[in-house]
Every structure is written in C-alpha cells, then in structure tokens.
Amino acid sequence: MRPVPRGLFDVYALALPHGHGFGERLPFEAWQSPDDHGCAMLTRHAEDGSIGLIVIRRREDMVWTVISEDHALESIEAARARAQAALVNGAPLEPVPSGVQRRTPLHDLEGREPSKIFSMLFQPSHQNVAWLLNQLYLSLPRPDRNWAADCQTENFHTRLWEAQLLASFREQGILVTQPVESPDFRIENRKGGAAWVEAVTANPPVRFEPVGARPTRQPAESAELFFGSAALRFAKTIGNKLQRGYADLPHVAGMPFAIAIADFHAPASMMWSREALMGYLYGISAEALEINGERIAVGNEATQLLGASGFPAGLFRDDAHSELSAIIFTNACTLSKFNRAAITAGMPTRGRRYVRYGKMFDPQPHALDGLPFCLDVTSEEYRGLWPQGYEPWCAELEVFHNPFARHSLPHALLPEATHWFEQDGAIDNRAYYPNTILWSGTLVLDPEDPMPTYETIPAFLEDLAQRRMAKRKKTG
C-alpha cells in the first residue's frame, strides 16, 4: 500500500455521507491499494486518543463504499497492519447492492454526440476537471438516472452545479442525502439541524454555444447592473422554482427550504452578475459617488426591475415568499474552479500554467472596491490564501437569507459559507474565509507565456488571443 496525499484524501472523503465531518475521530493518515481501488483512513479521537480505521473500496461501478469501520484498535501499528491486509492489490471490486442503481460511466457516451464543453474534458488542459467531476458524480448519493447523459449533452452546467454543491456541502462536514426525487438535496449537521435544497441554473433565453463565446461585459450603469436583464433572469428562474411548491411537500413542510442558483445566462456573466442577484433579492443597489470631494458608497432602493415587464424587485422585502428560507449562490461554478481545486490539491498541471486574477474583498471600513490580485495557482502565495493550503469549494459560496422566512436557515448549517442577512435594518454579512473572492477569471497558459499582472490583464488577453490565432493559422 502507498500513502495518500492530503489533497487526494480530501477528494476521496467527499464520497463519505458526512464528507469531511469526522466529528471527534480525526483522520491523521491514509493509505491506498496499488490498484487505486481501496483506501484506508486511520483516525484518532480528539479527547481519549483511541485509534480507529475506516476502509472504503470501489464497487463494480466505481462508487466508493465503506466495507469496514473500527474505532477501538489497540495501536497505530495494529491499525496499519489491518489496513495492509485490507488493501490487497487486484482484489475483486465490491458488488453493486441489489436494488441500487448501477452508476453509468461518465466517459461512456453510448453513441450520444457530446456537447462542445463536455468534449473539452478530453483535452490535456482539462483532464483534471474530467477526473474531479467524475469523482463527484460517483460520490452523489443517488443521482438521477439520466445524470451522465445530461452532463455529456445539453445540461452540462446543471450537472456541474450539482456536483459542486455536493463538494461544497460535504467539505463542511454536512450529511448529504438524496432520499427523494425533489428537492435535490437534504442536508444536515449536529449544530444547524436539517434543510432541503433545490439546485437550479439561470440559463439564457436563447441557447448559445459557451465554448469560444465572447465574454459579456459588466453593465456600466449601476441601475442596469443591479436591476437589469441579469436580475430579471434570476427573478424568472427563481420564480419558476417557487411555483413548483417544494416547500409544501410533506417531507419538506416545517423545515428550511433553500434554492441554490448558479448563473449561466450569458457568456462569463457570473463574473459580474452577483450584484444583480442582490438587487433582485433585496431591492437595493450601491454606487460610488463623489460628495464634497470624498468618494463614498451611496445606496439606492427599487421596487421594480428595469424593462417593460415591470417585474417586482425585492423578493426578500416582505413575507410574500416566506416559504423560501434562503438563496445559495456562487460566482465560480466553472471548469476553471474544478481545475484550480484539483491542481491546488496536488494534481499535475500537465504542462500548463494556471493563473487566477480578479478582486478580493477589502476588509477596510467603507472600502468601495476590492483588492486586485493575479497569482499562479500553484504558487505558495495562492495556496496560502486558505488555511488548508488548497482552494476550498466553499471559497465563493454565499447564502442570502430571507428575513421573513417561515423557517430560517441556521447559519451553523453552512458554517463555511459567506452569509448575508438583515441586522438593525441593514443588510450585513459574515464570511468564514478572510480572503473572499468577489470576482475572478482564470487563464490557462503555455509554459513559455509570460506571467501577467493584474494591471496588464486587458492588454495581455488581447496579445494572447492574437498570438494563439497566429499559431493556429501557422499549423493549418
């Protein structure tokens, strides 16, 4: 058997029902069988020091399953000996239990024509994404029967979001189950109780090809940014889900219910659409104005979104939708996120350089803008942004709470997210990670490409596009 690096272990642990939630029995080393089909985790109790061993093994459909768990071993040496005996190279895979749906291989197209974005996963620059997405697909408790087919074709982004949600939940030690067809997830922990979550994506009114699409630009006017077309797209998407009455289902009634949304309504819109979601939910906007020679933030309120529809703004301004406890959101449900998560966890860069640029939250009082950054994803400086030494799934996860919720979503249920809530008549927030990313982009560069700075990004992108176009013409 061979040792499992911390980053890889943390990926495998996402397959456990509670993910990284080991309670008082903390893992301190892990081992893997030579054929990669078995993994043993040694644990030590935080108080009494007792040694334990958890052994998981792949089923015939490659899903991890727990085959043994013992928390009363006499020593670390005994635990390692038990692990050695369990991690036999070439041992038969575990059978798929009777009545349990066999997981369809994600790579098997079964004659289907894949979407362009799914086809990108076969490129060297995105093989880490393919591996990690497959691990999360195999970790889902009970995915839809058509999950793999949807991921391979037109519903790739929807399935990507579900996989990222699973990782974000279990990274926080949350028990995640899928006991019924809808809502998508039931989540639970000891401190925050339980809740139901329905996942959805904000899609374009007219479908477009995301691969190679020219990124949209952030609206210049504050009103359009907060209350324009992006806010309307969020409103219609959330409204369609509310009309289905999930909160009134017998298994949901009396419990918090949240909608988790990711934005794909326009090319690269998630880089700037976060403000539109806040504008729709709370009916507020903010802009920087110069008053008496000082640049300050000024808030504005709106009762309607822009446009002829007259769609109301401020979903969370009254109790009209008290059945909705919160909106869960990320501005980083991307292939780049999966690449960064894999690479910072120790996966190879496969001859590429990954550079992330954008702006981080500025903790200074009355700050009107974020702090710019531009970092190589493999650098110590980048990994050092987070205490675990790699990029967490929850780095961009945000929870917007409904102050009129019939059943509030406890903050303790999602402890590692950034929470937005009403306090003393104003919208306040509390972040778990100090280095909160407001928006970002990720570049996949060749080793010979120069390292840009944040200030040179616009010129760098233009030059990079021209050089790659010339290279393609040269190679025919």
Summarised one tens digit per residue, pLDDT across range 150-208 is 999 999 999 999 999 999 999 999 999 999 999 999 999 999 999 999 999 999 988 88
Tokens 């509030």 correspond to what residue? 408
Task: Look at the chain and report how many structural domains it folds into.
Answer: 3
Whether 273 has a pLDDT exceeding 80, the answer reads yes
Do 415 and 301 share a domain, yes or no?
Answer: yes
DSSP state at residue 371? E
Same domain, 158 and 13: no
Do residues 285 and 412 both lie within one domain?
yes
Domain assignment of residue 386, yes or no? no
Decide: 37 and 47 in contact? Cβ < 8 Å: no
pLDDT exceeds 70 at position 100 = yes
Looking at every residue in the chain, the average pLDDT score rounds to 93
Residue 360 has phi, psi (to 5 degrees) of -105, 160
What pLDDT does 476 receive? 55
Q: Which helix (H) or strand (E) holds 275?
A: helix 274-282
Q: pLDDT value at position 219?
A: 94
Do 411 and 466 belong to one domain? no
Q: Is residue 96 part of a domain?
A: no
Q: DSSP H helical segments within 74-194, as ranges?
A: 76-86, 116-119, 127-139, 147-152, 156-171
Residues 399 and 274 in one domain: yes
Mean pLDDT for the stretch of residues 301-322:
94
C-alpha closest to that of 226 among 150, 278, 181 = 278
Residue corresponding to tokens 């980048």: 382
Q: Judge whether residue 4 has pLDDT over 80.
A: yes
Residue 364 lies in a domain: no
233 within a domain of the structure (yes/no): yes
Residue 473: pLDDT band with limits 50, 70, 90: low
What does the pLDDT read at residue 466?
Answer: 82
Q: Are residues 137 and 72 in the same domain?
A: no
Residue 91 lies in a domain: no
423 and 464 both lie in a single domain: no
Q: What is the per-residue pLDDT for 288?
A: 67
Paired tokens of 238: 């959330």
Cα-Cα-Cα-Cα dihedral sign, residues 20, 25, 26, 30: negative
pLDDT for 297 equals 66
Average pLDDT of the segment spanning 1-17: 94
Say whether both 66 and 172 belong to one domain: no
Q: What is the pLDDT of residue 59?
A: 97
Copy the structure tokens of residue 294.
Answer: 């000082």
Residues counted in the chain: 476
Is residue 360 in a domain?
no
Domain boundary at 66, 86, 106, which? 86
Residue 70 CB neighbours (<10 A): 14
Picking from 232, 244, 238, the residue whose alpha carbon sits closest to that of residue 262 is 238
- The DSSP letter of residue 153 is T
**What pLDDT, on the 0 to 100 scale, is given for residue 107?**
94
Mean pLDDT of 8-13: 95
pLDDT, tens digit (0-9, with 9 covering 90-100), for 274-296: 999 999 999 999 876 666 666 66
Structure tokens at 216: 């949209």
Claim to verify: residue 60 and residue 128 sit in the same structural domain: no
Q: Could you check whether the bond before residue 183 is cis, i.e. omega within 30 degrees of 0? A: yes
pLDDT of amino acid 361: 86
pLDDT digits (tens, 9 = 90+) for 22-39: 999 999 999 999 999 999
Residue 270, pLDDT > 70, answer: yes
126 and 263, same domain (yes or no): yes
Same domain flag for 7 and 153: no
Same domain for 158 and 256: yes
Asked whether residue 412 is assigned to any structural domain, the reply reads: yes
Beta strands 38-45 and 25-32, pairing class = antiparallel
Report if residue 106 sits inside a domain: no
The reported pLDDT for the residue numbered 366 is 65
At 207 the pLDDT is 86
Tokens of 358: 């954008």
Is the pLDDT score of 396 beyond 60?
Answer: yes
> What six digits make up the tokens of 28?
């301190």
How many helices (H) and strands (E) are present in the chain, helices listed first?
A: 12, 18
User: Residue 10's domain spans which residues?
Assistant: 2-86
Q: Which of 64, 86, 108 is the last residue of a domain?
A: 86
Angle at 168 (CA atoms; ends 314, 406), nearest 5 degrees = 35
